[in-house]
Amino acid sequence: MANLPSGVRRVYNHFYKRKATGGNSYTPTPSEIKDYLESQGFGSDNMTEEQFNQTINHFSSCELSFPQAEQSAELINQTGDARVDDFSSGTLTKQERHSIVSSKASQMNIQLSADDIDYVADRIDIQVGTTLDEILHQTESLLCKYADYKQQEGIQKIDAMFGRVYNHVQSNNEDTSQHISRGLQQFGRDIEQSEKDFKSSISNALSRLNIPGVSA
């Protein structure tokens, strides 16, 4: 274990501690963890917190797929249908909600941050009599709506950005136009003054040439 890359060891220890305390019965092997990290392009020794959380969510979804399926099958055998009547009393924990959302999002190729997973998971409506299939269908529907919302939010941000750029360019154009206008006005005044000065200079020169006693 000491020779394992720090990232692999960190993920393995996370699940091993949960298993030791009775939190779960599934612990991925170091090889499975390493293969997943390599498939995602994550560094085995230098994992970011986001990469660590994604890895935990990935293997948590694997954890859910086995005990949750066995539990559902057992309940179906006992009751004769697919209803799970105790979801609302705490059987589906926050971590299980997160695992369902993360797994379903991965299947749908939707990238979610930890905050996104929290947002969707908190909106899963579980009541007495809710089936696992209904939960999965509801999760898929929530993910579709959330993806549409994020897309629309992105479009609005892009539109707002273009609006700011347009206003900025328009303001610059107005400033430039005003600057050119002031420059042309000043140029016109300078030309007019030059003409006056030239005429005055010519007039003075002619006056000096008008010598008394000399006929024209």
Structure confidence by residue, pLDDT tens digits, 150-197: 888 888 888 888 888 888 888 888 888 888 888 888 888 888 888 888
CB 55 within 8 A of CB 37: yes
In a domain, 124, yes or no: no
Check: pTM over 0.75? Answer yes or no: no
Structure confidence at residue 137 (pLDDT): 86
Per-residue pLDDT, averaged over 44-55, amounts to 87
Does residue 88 belong to any structural domain of this protein? no
Calculate the alpha carbon distances from 190 to 29, 115, 176, 185, 202 in Å. Answer: 86, 66, 21, 9, 18
For residue 108, tell me if it sits in a domain.
no
Q: Is there a domain that residue 49 lies in?
A: yes
Q: Which domain holds residue 2?
A: 1-65
pLDDT number for residue 90: 46
Residue 167 is assigned to a structural domain of this protein: no
Q: Is 182 within the bounds of a domain?
A: no
Tell whether 132 is covered by a domain: no
Domain count within the chain:
1
Q: Is residue 46 part of a domain?
A: yes
